[in-house]
C-alpha cells in the first residue's frame, strides 16, 4: 500500500528533463525603454535584451552582467559574441536568413568552432511572436502568444518562450529569439 502523505521531491536530474517557460515582455518593472525582459512564472527577470545601437544589442543576466553581444552585420547576418559591447570576445554563433516570405522567415544558426557541431533552424512569424527552434528533428524551443479564454483580440506585448530540455543553454536560446524578432528587418 502506498503512503499518500509522503510528498514527492523530484531528483535534480529529473528537473533537467522538464521544459522551462519564460515570459517575454517590454513591460516588466525595472526595464528601461527599449529593453526586452525574459522572466520566470514569478515575474523574476532572468535575462534582459538591451539595445545599444541600431545594429548592437546586449544580453544581460538577472544581475546586469553582459553575457553576449548580438551584432547585426550589413549582409543581413547576425553574430553572437561573448561579453559586452566594448569587449566583444570570442564568436559563439552566426545566424543567417535563409527564407523571407511576407509573414514567415527562416533562419539558420551555426555555432562557432569548438562550441557545438549542431546546426539549428528557426522558423516562424516575427509579427505573431511565434517561432520554433529546431535541432535536426527535435524541438529546442518554441514561442507563442498568451491567449486567454473568450479573448477576441490577442495582444502581442507579452508572449511565452518554452525551452525544452537539451544541449542548448537557455541564454543562447534567449539570444536566438532576440535575433528572430529582428529577423524581418
Give the pLDDT of residue 151: 65
SS3 at position 179: helix
pLDDT computed for residue 1 by the predictor: 46
Q: Which residues of the chain have pLDDT under 50?
A: 1
Q: How many CA atoms lie within 13 A of 42 on its CB side?
A: 2
For 95, what's the count of Cα atoms within 13 Å in the CB-facing half-sphere? Answer: 28
- Rounded-to-integer distance, Cα 112 and Cα 161, Å: 24
Closest C-alpha to 123, from 183, 65, 174: 183
* Domains by residue range for the chain, with CATH: 20-146+155-181 (2.40.160.200)
Amino acid at each position: 500500500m502506498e503512503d499518500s502523505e509522503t510528498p514527492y521531491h523530484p531528483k535534480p536530474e529529473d528537473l533537467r528533463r522538464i521544459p522551462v517557460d519564460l515570459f517575454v515582455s517590454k513591460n516588466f518593472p525595472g526595464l528601461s525603454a527599449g529593453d526586452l525582459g525574459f522572466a520566470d512564472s514569478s515575474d523574476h527577470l532572468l535575462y534582459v535584451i538591451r539595445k545599444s545601437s541600431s545594429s548592437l544589442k546586449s544580453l544581460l543576466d538577472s544581475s546586469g552582467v553582459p553575457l553576449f553581444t548580438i551584432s547585426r552585420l550589413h549582409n543581413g547576418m547576425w553574430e553572437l559574441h561573448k561579453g559586452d559591447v566594448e569587449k566583444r570576445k570570442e564568436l559563439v554563433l552566426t545566424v543567417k536568413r535563409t527564407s523571407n516570405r511576407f509573414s514567415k522567415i527562416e533562419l539558420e544558426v551555426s555555432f562557432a568552432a569548438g562550441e557545438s557541431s549542431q546546426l539549428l533552424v528557426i522558423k516562424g512569424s516575427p509579427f505573431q511572436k511565434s517561432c520554433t527552434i529546431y535541432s535536426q528533428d527535435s524541438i529546442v524551443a518554441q514561442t507563442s502568444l498568451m491567449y486567454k479564454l473568450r479573448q477576441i483580440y490577442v495582444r502581442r506585448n507579452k508572449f511565452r518562450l518554452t525551452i525544452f530540455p537539451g544541449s542548448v543553454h537557455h541564454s543562447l536560446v534567449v539570444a536566438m529569439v532576440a535575433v528572430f524578432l529582428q529577423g524581418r528587418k
